[in-house]
């Protein structure tokens, strides 16, 4: 968007919209240009949301059983767990222990499948996918484990490890913000409120292996500009070690030479469709 601004002579406008947009987003854009966010529309939840604690010795499945009894016919329950595997296991256990049916909402499903489930079913288990991309017509309760699994790349060992971390405060706000849109809501945190949490999730670009990104930037830029060049426009810059590792991987795959120019192999791969990983493209 920053580069396109030169071509469009200021006619491009970027509109950011979210029911839980944080004030820090405004501060971020103001670093680049004071004209950003000339108009800000405050958003508030339409209905009140109450936070309640689970009863002593009550499990998540006990809680779901209790809430289901209190639900009206069309009211819904959404449970956030840390992984797709936990989604599957929780649904199976709820069926075995309480004879209650629940349904998954995960990234692997198409949006059509997700929307059909949300429109027709009552109880759901999900990970981060249900935080932002889905609207529930009759959501009454949210149950939140407060933890997530996330792949984190370590440039020093050149490995990516699936790591369990506490959900950030903004993630918690998003999950709680699913409520209060069509009716009063109740939020049940199953986590210790004293656990240290980040205010916001670490940006994905700061904890991901970036050779695919570096290659995509080089092939789409007339000057073959790399991630090293483009990082100046990033609000959160990845560690320099991650950028160096990305360049080294391109060289190792025979795509890049002298840190700047594509090899013939690199030029050929640049003409191919995106196969997801460079390893697949070079095979």
pLDDT tens-place string over residues 206-249 = 999 999 999 988 888 766 678 888 888 888 899 999 999 999 99
Say how far apart CA 167 and CA 171 lie, in whole Å: 6
pLDDT tens-place string over residues 35-87 = 555 556 565 557 999 999 999 899 999 999 999 999 988 899 999 999 999 99
In contact, 183 and 203? CB cutoff 8 Å: no
Q: What is the DSSP string of 120-178?
A: H-SEEEESTHHHHS---TTEEEEEE--EEEEEEEETTTTEEEEEEEEPPHHHHHHHHTT
pTM reported for the whole predicted model? 0.82
Given a cut of 70, is residue 108 above it in pLDDT? Answer: yes
């Amino acid at each position: 968007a920053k580069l396109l601004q030169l071509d469009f002579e200021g006619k491009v406008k970027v509109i950011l919209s979210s029911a839980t947009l944080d004030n820090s987003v405004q501060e971020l854009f103001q670093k680049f240009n004071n004209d950003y966010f000339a108009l800000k529309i405050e958003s508030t939840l339409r209905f009140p949301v109450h936070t309640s604690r689970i009863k002593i010795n009550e499990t998540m499945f006990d809680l779901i059983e209790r809430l289901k009894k209190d639900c009206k016919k069309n009211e819904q329950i959404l449970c956030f767990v840390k992984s797709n595997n936990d989604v599957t296991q929780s649904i199976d256990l709820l069926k075995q222990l309480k004879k209650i049916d629940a349904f998954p909402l995960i990234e692997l499903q198409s949006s059509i499948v997700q929307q059909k489930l949300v429109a027709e079913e009552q109880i759901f288990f999900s990970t981060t996918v249900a935080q932002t991309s889905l609207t529930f017509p009759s959501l009454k309760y949210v149950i939140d484990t407060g933890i997530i699994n996330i792949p984190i790349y370590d440039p020093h060992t050149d490995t990516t490890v699936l790591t369990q971390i506490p959900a950030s405060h903004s993630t918690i706000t998003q999950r709680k913000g699913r409520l209060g849109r069509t009716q009063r809501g109740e939020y049940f945190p199953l986590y210790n409120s004293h656990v240290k949490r980040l205010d916001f999730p670490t940006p994905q670009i700061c904890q991901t292996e970036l050779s695919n990104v570096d290659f995509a930037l080089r092939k789409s830029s007339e000057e073959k500009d790399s991630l090293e060049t483009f990082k100046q426009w990033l609000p959160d810059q990845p560690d320099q070690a991650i950028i160096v590792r990305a360049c080294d991987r391109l060289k190792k795959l025979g795509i890049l030479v002298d840190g700047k120019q594509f090899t013939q192999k690199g030029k050929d791969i640049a003409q191919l469709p995106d196969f997801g990983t460079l390893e697949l493209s070079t095979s």
